[in-house]
C-alpha cells in the first residue's frame, strides 16, 4: 500500500459522480423548461403578428374607392384579427389606432416540465401598419 492512502481511497470520486449526475439532471430539466417557455413566447408573438396582418387586410372600401386614402375599418379589422385568434385557439386584445395601425396582444399558457403541472402565462405582441406606395410609403 502506498504511503498516505487509507481504506477510503476512491470515496471522493463516488461522491463527485453522484453530485455531478444530480446537477446535470437539474440543469437539463431547467434548460428544457426554459427553452419550452421561450418557444411558447415565440409562438404567442407570431400569432399576434399574424392576427395584426389579418386585421390589416380589412381596408375600408368606401374611402379607398373615393380616393380618400387607404385606411382600415376599425370594426372589421378587429373582427378579422379576433377571428384569426379564435381559429388558432387563443385569446387576445386588438387595438386599431388612426385607421392604419393594428396592435394585437395575445395571452396563452405554457405547462412547465419542472415542476410538473405548473402552468405559466405568456404574452405575445404584434403590430401591423398599413402602408401603400410604389417605392416609398405614401400618405
Q: Give the count of beta carbons closer than 10 Å to the beta carbon of residue 87.
A: 10
What's the pTM? Answer: 0.75
The rounded mean pLDDT for the chain is: 85
Peptide bond into 132 cis (omega under 30): no
- Tell which residue, 81, 89, 90, 75, has the closest CA to residue 126: 81
Q: Is the pLDDT of residue 49 over 90?
A: yes
Helix (H) or strand (E) holding 30: helix 11-56
* Residues 81 and 104: beta-carbon distance below 8 Å: yes
Amino acid at each position: 500500500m502506498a504511503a498516505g492512502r487509507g481504506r477510503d481511497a476512491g470515496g471522493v470520486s463516488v461522491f463527485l459522480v453522484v453530485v455531478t449526475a444530480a446537477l446535470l439532471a437539474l440543469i437539463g430539466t431547467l434548460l428544457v423548461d426554459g427553452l419550452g417557455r421561450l418557444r411558447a413566447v415565440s409562438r404567442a408573438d407570431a400569432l399576434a403578428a399574424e392576427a395584426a396582418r389579418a386585421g390589416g387586410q380589412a381596408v375600408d372600401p368606401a374611402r379607398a374607392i373615393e380616393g380618400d386614402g387607404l385606411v382600415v375599418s376599425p370594426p372589421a379589422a378587429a373582427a378579422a384579427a379576433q377571428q384569426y385568434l379564435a381559429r388558432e385557439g387563443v385569446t387576445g386584445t386588438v387595438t386599431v389606432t388612426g385607421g392604419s395601425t393594428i396592435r394585437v396582444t395575445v395571452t396563452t399558457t405554457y405547462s412547465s416540465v419542472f415542476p410538473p403541472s405548473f402552468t405559466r402565462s405568456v404574452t405575445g405582441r404584434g403590430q401591423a401598419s398599413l402602408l401603400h406606395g410604389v417605392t416609398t410609403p405614401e400618405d
